[in-house]
C-alpha cells in the first residue's frame, strides 16, 4: 500500500488509475516519487524475488552505473552482484540483499546524481541552450517534483517556472543571467542597425524608441512592432503597458484596422500559408505544447519581432537554433 501522503496525492489525481495500470517502462521515469515510494515499501529485496519493486531497483542500479543487465524484474545473480558492488562502495554491510538501509542509500544517491547534473549546468541554463541539455535539466527537475510537463527538450514557460522553483528550494543558481544579458545586448545591437534611416525607409519615434521599416507589406504594423521593442511581457497583456505574444500581434495589426483572433491557434487558422515570409507576415512556432503556441511578425533579414516571456517584446532571428527547431511556418493576414 502507498503511505498516507503519497496515497492522498495520487488518488486525488485523475492519473491514479492510469498510472497503476501502465507498464513499468511508462511510469518509471514519469513518476519518480511513486517509484521511490514503491521501492522503499518493499523494505527488503533479495535473490530469487521478482516484480515491480525489483524492476525499479534494477533501473536505479542501471542509472547509477552498477548494472548493465536487462531490467526484467528478476532478482538474479547479476542484480545481486551489482548490489554488492554498490554496498561495498557505500560502506554498507555486503550481503547482496537490498535491505532498507541499502534502498534508502540508493534513492539518496540517485537524488545526488540529479542534483550534480543541475550543479554542473549552473549558470549555463538559458532559453537558447542545446535541446539535449534542456532534456537533462527537465529530467532532473521532474525528479525533484518541480517540472510536471512533457520531457520535450523545449525550454518553455513550464521549464522556466520549474527552474525558478528549483533555485528557491535547492538554493542553487541555475539560470545563466549573464548569458541572458549577453543575448539581450546582442539583439539590442542588432536592433540599433535598424535605427538609422535608409533609402525608401520611414522612421517613427514613439515612446522614445526609434524604429525603421520597409515600405512593403504591412508597414504600419511593422512600425508599431518596432516601437514596442522593450515592452515587458505580461500574461494576458494586450496594451503597451505589457503584452503576451498573441496580444502583441493583435495590438499591432489594429494599426492596420485589422482585427485578429485572440489566441495563437485561432490566428493560425485565420491566416493563409505562404512558402516564404515577407515583411509583415506572421511566423509561428511550437513551444510549450503541440501545435502553434507562439508567433511573431516577420520584419525582414530573417528576423521577427515577438513578445517573449523572458525579455518581453524583442527582435529574434529565425535562424537561431531555438527558434529554428520550433518553426512551424509563415502565414499571411488577408
Closest-CA residue to 317 (of 225, 187, 196): 187
Say yes or no: 276 and 294 in one domain: yes
pLDDT at residue 18, as a whole number: 44
Q: Considering the chain, what percentage of its residues have pLDDT values greater than 90?
A: 37
Those residues whose C-beta lies under 8 Å from the C-beta of residue 204, and which sit 6 or more positions away, are: 210, 211, 212, 213, 223, 226, 227
H or E element at residue 18: helix 16-21
Predicted local confidence at residue 145, as pLDDT: 81
* Domain stops at, among 97, 113, 129: 113
Residue 150: pLDDT band by 50, 70, 90 thresholds?
confident
Is residue 8 located within the same domain as residue 131? no
- CATH code of the domain in which 321 resides: 3.90.1720.10
Report which of 8, 58, 14 is spatially closest to residue 33, judged by C-alpha positions: 8
In the prediction, which pLDDT does 197 show? 38
Same domain, 132 and 14: no
- Are 103 and 2 part of one and the same domain? yes
List the domain range (segments joined by +) for residue 301. Answer: 178-332
Least trusted range by pLDDT, from 18-22, 55-59, 267-271 = 18-22
Give 299's DSSP letter. E
Please check the confidence at residue 118 and state whether its pLDDT lies above 90.
no
- Do 211 and 105 belong to one domain? no
The total number of structural domains in the chain stands at 3
pLDDT for 159 beyond 50: yes
- Give the count of beta carbons closer than 10 Å to the beta carbon of residue 227: 23
Q: What is the pLDDT of residue 331?
A: 94
Which residues contact residue 242 at a Cβ distance below 8 angstroms, ignoring those fewer than 6 apart?
231, 232, 233, 234, 312
User: What span, in angstroms and rounded, lies between the C-alpha atoms of 131 and 323?
Assistant: 11
Q: Where does the chain show beta strands of DSSP type E?
A: 201-206, 209-214, 238-239, 242-243, 272-274, 282-285, 294-300, 303-308, 312-317, 327-332
SS3 (DSSP) at 170? helix
**Residue 176: predicted pLDDT:** 59
Residues 168 and 244 in one domain: no
Cell triple for 86: 554498490
For residues 222 and 299, the answer to whether their CB atoms sit within 8 Å is: yes
- CB within 8 Å of 64: residues ≥ 6 apart: 86, 106, 109, 110, 113
189 shares a domain with 82: no
Phi, psi of 152 (to 5 degrees): -120, 5
Residue 201: what pLDDT?
37
Q: Can you tell me the distance from the alpha carbon of 279 to that of 257, in angstroms, rounded to the nearest whole number?
A: 18
Predicted pLDDT of residue 247: 93
Pairwise pLDDT comparison (190 vs 152), residue with the higher score? 152
pLDDT at 147: 84
- Phi, psi of 259, rounded to the nearest 5 degrees: -100, 120
Q: Which of 59, 60, 55 is nearest to 74 (CA)?
A: 55
> 261-294 pLDDT, tens per residue?
989 999 999 999 999 999 999 999 998 778 899 9
Model pLDDT, residue 252: 94
**pLDDT surpasses 50 at 194:** no
Alpha helix ranges (H) inside the chain: 4-11, 16-21, 24-30, 32-41, 52-63, 77-89, 100-120, 131-143, 157-170, 177-192, 219-227, 245-254, 264-270, 321-326
Residues 63, 113: contact at Cβ < 8 Å?
yes
Tell me the torsion sign for CA atoms 141, 143, 148, 153.
positive
| Judgement on whether residues 148 and 267 belong to the same structural domain of the protein | no
pLDDT digits (tens, 9 = 90+) for 236-256: 889 999 999 999 999 999 988
For residue 25, pLDDT over 50 is answered with no
Mean of the per-residue pLDDT values of the chain: 78
In this predicted structure, what is the pLDDT of residue 185?
52
Q: Given this model, what pLDDT does residue 253 score?
A: 93
The span from the CA of 237 to the CA of 102, in Å, is 52
Say if residue 322 is in the same domain as residue 198: yes
Q: What is the DSSP letter of 13?
A: S
The answer to whether residues 327 and 191 belong to one domain is: yes
Q: Which neighbouring-strand residues pair with 237?
A: none
**pLDDT for 217 beyond 70:** no
Residue 127 and residue 46 in one domain: no
Q: Are residues 214 and 94 in the same domain?
A: no
Higher pLDDT, 39 or 197: 39
Q: Answer yes or no: pTM beyond 0.75.
A: no
Amino acid at each position: 500500500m502507498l503511505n498516507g501522503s503519497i496515497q492522498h496525492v495520487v488518488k486525488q489525481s485523475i492519473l491514479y488509475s492510469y498510472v497503476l495500470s501502465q507498464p513499468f517502462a511508462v511510469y518509471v521515469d514519469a513518476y519518480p516519487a511513486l517509484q521511490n515510494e514503491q521501492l522503499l515499501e518493499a523494505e527488503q529485496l533479495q535473490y530469487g524475488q521478482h516484480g515491480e519493486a525489483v524492476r525499479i531497483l534494477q533501473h536505479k542500479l542501471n542509472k547509477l552505473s552498477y548494472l548493465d543487465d536487462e531490467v526484467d524484474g528478476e532478482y538474479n545473480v547479476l542484480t545481486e552482484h551489482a548490489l554488492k558492488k554498490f554496498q561495498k562502495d557505500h560502506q554498507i554491510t555486503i550481503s547482496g540483499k537490498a535491505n532498507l538501509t541499502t534502498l534508502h542509500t540508493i534513492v539518496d544517491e540517485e537524488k545526488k546524481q540529479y542534483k550534480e547534473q543541475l550543479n554542473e549546468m549552473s549558470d549555463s541554463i538559458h532559453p537558447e541552450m542545446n535541446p539535449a541539455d534542456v532534456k537533462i535539466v527537465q529530467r532532473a527537475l521532474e525528479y525533484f517534483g518541480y517540472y510536471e510537463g512533457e520531457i520535450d527538450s523545449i525550454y518553455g514557460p513550464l521549464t522556466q517556472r520549474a527552474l525558478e522553483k528549483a533555485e528557491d528550494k535547492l538554493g542553487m543558481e541555475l539560470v545563466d543571467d549573464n548569458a541572458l544579458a549577453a543575448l539581450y545586448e546582442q539583439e539590442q545591437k542588432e536592433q540599433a542597425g535598424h535605427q538609422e534611416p535608409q533609402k525608401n525607409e520611414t522612421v517613427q519615434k514613439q515612446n522614445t524608441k526609434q524604429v525603421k521599416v520597409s515600405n512593403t507589406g504591412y508597414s504600419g504594423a511593422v512600425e508599431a512592432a518596432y516601437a514596442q521593442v522593450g515592452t515587458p511581457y505580461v500574461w494576458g497583456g494586450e496594451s503597451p503597458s505589457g503584452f503576451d505574444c498573441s496580444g502583441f500581434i493583435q495590438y499591432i495589426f489594429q494599426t492596420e484596422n485589422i482585427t485578429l483572433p485572440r489566441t495563437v491557434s485561432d490566428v493560425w487558422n485565420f491566416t493563409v500559408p505562404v512558402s516564404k515570409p515577407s515583411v509583415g507576415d506572421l511566423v509561428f512556432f511550437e513551444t510549450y505544447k503541440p501545435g502553434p503556441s507562439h508567433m511573431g511578425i516577420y520584419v525582414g533579414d530573417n528576423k521577427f519581432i515577438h513578445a517573449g516571456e523572458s525579455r518581453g517584446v524583442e527582435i529574434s532571428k529565425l535562424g537561431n537554433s531555438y527558434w529554428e527547431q520550433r518553426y512551424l511556418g509563415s502565414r499571411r493576414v488577408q
